[in-house]
Structure 1
Amino acid sequence: MTRFSEMETFVLVAETGSFTDAAKELHLTPSAVSKMISRLEDRLGARLLQRTTRRVSMTVEGRTYYDQARGILAELDAVEASVGGAEAEPRGPLRVTLAHGFGMQQIVPLLPEFLARFPKVDVQLTFADHVVDLVAEGHDIGIRTGQLHDEVLMARRLGSHRRIVCAAPAYIERHGAPKTPADLMHHNCLLFDGPAGLNTWPFRVADGRVERITVHGNFQTNNGDAILRLLLNGVGLCYAADFAVGRMLRDGRLVPVLTDYAADVSWPIHAVYPARKHLAAKVRVFVDYLVEKFTPRAPWEV
C-alpha cells in the first residue's frame, strides 16, 4: 500500500466513523482497513484514532493529520477534474437536506432552472430543522444557516443572513411603532418555539453595547410559515430572517421598526458535503449553481 492509499483510507474512516463503512466503500475487508491504519500510525509514531466497540473518533493528532490530508486529497481531485475524464455529465439522484424556511423561500424557487440545465440530475429534498448527519443518513449536500461545527465536512460559503424586527402596516396603524427596544414590552410579538435566543432580540444601545430584550406575545409556533402568515395579517411584530421577508419589505407589505437600534449581527450560510475522494459532478454543479445565484449579493438582502 502507498502512503497515498493510507491517507485516503484514514480520511474515509475519519468521516464515516467506522472501519466497516470505510471498507465497504473501498471494497476491502474491515481487517484490511484496520491494518492499513495501524501501519500509518506506526509510521507516524502517533495514535490517530480512538477505537471503541461502537465508534471510531479522531485523537488530537488525528485531527491535525486529517485537516492536512483532506486538503491534499481535495487538491488532487481538482487536478484530476481539470483533465477531461473527470468532467462527467452530471446525473443521478442528488440528495439535499436543508431547513424548511430557507429551503422553501430561497432554494425551491431556483430548482426549475437548475433541473432544466441538468435534466439528468434527480433532486431529492429533505426538510429538517435539525443538523443532519450527512454520511449516516445518505445525503450528498446539506444547506446550513449559522455557525458550522462539523469539521469533517467540506464547506462552501453561499452568503449570510440577518434578522430584522418588522410588522405589517396594519399593525402599525392600530398599535403604533415602538420607538425604543423597551417599548416592546407593550407590543404583541410573534414567538418561535425553538432556540430560546430567537425570542430574545438583540439591539445596539447608545453606548454601543448589544442589549437583549426578551419579548412576549400571544402566539408561538415552531413553523416559520405560520409566523409569516400572522405577521402579514398584522397580528404582531416579528424578528424575522431577511431571506424570508426581504421581498415583502421591498414591496411594502412589511415595514422595519427600531432600525436605529439594529444590532449588526449576521449568520453565515454554507453548502456542506462529505470530503470524498471524487466530488460527484452532480454535487459540484449544484453548489456552483447556488454560488452563482447567491453571490456577490444575495437576492434577499434589503
Structure 2
Amino acid sequence: MARLPDFEAWAIFAKVAELGSFSAAADELRLSKATISKAVSRLEQRLAAPLFHRSSRKLSLTESGQLAQERASLLLAEGEAIEEAISERGAVPRGLVRLAAPMSFGLAHLGPILPLFHQAYPEVVIDLHLSDERIDLIEQGFDIALRIGQLEDSALKARRLFPVRLPVVAAPSLLERLGRPEHPRDLVRFPVFSYTHVRNPGRWHCRHPVEGDVVVEVKGPVRANNGDVLIDALIAGMGIARAPDFLVWRELEDGRLVEVLHDWSTGQDAALHLVTPPTALRPARVKALIDFLAAAFLKPPWAVSP
C-alpha cells in the first residue's frame, strides 16, 4: 500500500513558507521550534530535495519549495476550513483574515466601513494590506483581495461588484486658462498627470462610439504611483488627469473639478472585484468578511451617500 502524504508536515511547511521563519511558525502554531524543524526535515528526506535555503540571517524557498508552496498552502487552508465548517465553534466567526485592497480605494471607502464589520464580528481580526501593487493571494497567504480593473485569467474566484469609470478631469481655472479639450489630440497642449501603475502611462488609448480609436501621447509635470497625491495639484489647476470616479466624485460634485471629453472612453471598462483563492471551503471568519464586503459594495459608496 502506498504511503499517505505527510499532511501535518505539509501544513507546517506552508506556515513556515508564509511567515518566512521557523520561529514565527512555531509561535503561531503553538509548537516547539524543534517540532517545526523536524516536520520540514521529514519532507525533505522523503522528497530527497531541500525545500529551504537556510542561513543565520535568512530563510528562503528553494526551487522545489517554490513549486510546493501553492499546493501546500491550499492544503492548509482546506484543512482549516473543514475543521471550522464541521466544528461547533465554526458557527461563531473568529480568528485572522488577511485582506488586500488598492491604496486609494481602501483609504476612502474600505476604512470607514471596517468598524461596522468589527461591531458585527468582534472576534475576527483583519490583517489589511493596502497597496496598488498586484498581490499574489496564494503565494502571499491572503484570504481576500479587492481589485479594480480588468482581471487576468486565473484559477482565482472573482465576483464583480460595481463598475468604475475613469473620467478625464481638470479644474475650472485650468480650462479658463488653456481652453477645453474637445478631442483627445487636444491633450498635447495640456500638462497631463500620469498614474504609473498601468502599462505605458504616457500613452492613452481613447475610444469614441462614432470616431473610433485614437492613441495619444501625453506629458506632464507629475507622474505618481498613487492617485490621491495628484488631487490637490489638479484642483490648483496644474494639470489634467484620468482619475477613477471613486477618487474624484466629491470634487466633481462640488465643482472643484469638471469632466472633459465626456464622449470618449480613455481606458478599458473597469470594475471593483472581490477575489478569493479557488478553494470551495472557507472558514466562517473568511465567509463573514466576503459576505460583508459584497453587501457593502453592491453599489458605489457615493451612490448611496446622503
Given the two structures, how large is their TM-score scaled by the length of structure 1? Answer: 0.67
List runs of 5+ in structure 2 lacking aligned partners.
Answer: none
What's the counterpart of residue 55 of structure 1? 59
Question: 2:214 matched to 1:215?
Answer: no
Offset of residue 72 of structure 1: 3.5
What's the counterpart of residue 85 of structure 1? 88
Offset of residue 195 of structure 1: 5.5
Residues in 2 aligned to 1:214 and 1:260: alpha-carbon distance in whole angstroms: 16
> Partner amino acid for 1:85?
E
Alignment equivalent of 2:40, drawn from 37, 40, 44: 37
Residues in 2 aligned to 1:73 and 1:200: alpha-carbon distance in whole angstroms: 43
Answer whether contact 1:101 1:225 (CA < 8 A) is retained: yes
What's the counterpart of residue 16 of structure 2? 13
* Residue pairs, 1:184-195, within 5 angstroms: 184-190=187-193
Deviations 1:131-151 (A, max 9, x none): 8999xxxx9987666799xx9
> Partner amino acid for 2:27?
K
Offset of residue 51 of structure 1: 1.6
- SS of structure 1 residue aligned to 2:52: strand
What's the counterpart of residue 75 of structure 1? 78
Residues in 1 aligned to 2:160 and 2:86: alpha-carbon distance in whole angstroms: 27
Deviations 1:233-268 (A, max 9, x none): 554311212321246557765314264252316487
Answer whether contact 1:167 1:257 (CA < 8 A) is retained: no
Residues in 2 aligned to 1:36 and 1:115: alpha-carbon distance in whole angstroms: 36
Percent identical across equivalent pairs?
31
- SS of structure 1 residue aligned to 2:86: coil
What's the counterpart of residue 103 of structure 1? 106
Answer whether contact 1:232 1:254 (CA < 8 A) is retained: no
Deviations 1:255-282 (A, max 9, x none): 1426425231648766789x9xx9583x
Question: 2:7 matched to 1:4?
Answer: yes
Residues in 2 aligned to 1:269 and 1:52: alpha-carbon distance in whole angstroms: 38
Question: 2:240 matched to 1:237?
Answer: yes
Pairwise CA RMSD: 4.8
Change in Cα spacing, 1:251 to 1:130, as seen in structure 2 (3 Å) is same
Answer whether contact 2:193 2:241 (CA < 8 A) is retained: yes
> Partner amino acid for 2:49?
R
Offset of residue 57 of structure 1: 0.6
- SS of structure 2 residue aligned to 1:215: coil
Alignment equivalent of 1:257, drawn from 248, 255, 261: 261
> Partner amino acid for 1:264?
Q
Residues in 2 aligned to 1:77 and 1:94: alpha-carbon distance in whole angstroms: 13
- SS of structure 2 residue aligned to 1:264: coil
List runs of 5+ in structure 1 lacking aligned partners.
Answer: none
* Residue pairs, 1:152-167, within 5 angstroms: 161=164, 163-167=166-170
- SS of structure 2 residue aligned to 1:211: strand
Given the two structures, how large is their TM-score scaled by the length of structure 2? Answer: 0.66
> Partner amino acid for 1:20?
S
Answer whether contact 2:166 2:267 (CA < 8 A) is retained: no
Answer whether contact 1:48 1:62 (CA < 8 A) is retained: yes
Residues in 2 aligned to 1:113 and 1:31: alpha-carbon distance in whole angstroms: 42
Residues in 2 aligned to 1:258 and 1:213: alpha-carbon distance in whole angstroms: 19
